Amino acid sequence: GAVVSQHPSWVICKSGTSVKIECRSLDFQATTMFWYRQFPKQSLMLMATSNEGSKATYEQGVEKDKFLINHASLTLSTLTVTSAHPEDSSFYICSAPLAGNEQYFGPGTRLTVT
């Protein structure tokens, strides 16, 4: 089946630094990718829609200047958490639709900000 990878799978950073998370579709092209965030025991909350070659669309309440999204190619979207704070600690997951409504999820990135 389709595979979506994320890198890194786990990252610890100091408060105030920036962290980049990569999401790659390994065997298919994705003009659209989605970034979700999951807090412990919570649902997956959509943060933004990443569109290849154009600006990302952010959900209400998500700061676009803090969560920078770049979708420079049909197989790669990156999420950069800028000036990270402890409250940004979360599990970040990307997904890419392949055909119709099915989406394939990456394995997730656990971010811990100290």
Q: Which residues bind another protein (CB under 8 A)?
A: 4, 6, 31-32, 34, 41-46, 49, 91, 93, 95, 97, 100-108, 110
* Minimum gap (Å) between residue 48 Cβ and another protein: 9
Nearer to another protein, 16 or 107 (CB): 107
Reduced to 3 states (helix: H, G, I; strand: E, B; else coil), residue 86 is helix
Determine if the peptide bond prior to 107 is cis (ω within 30°).
Answer: no
Close Cβ partners of 82 (under 8 Å, ≥ 6 residues apart): 18, 65, 66, 67, 68
Nearer to another protein, 83 or 112 (CB): 112
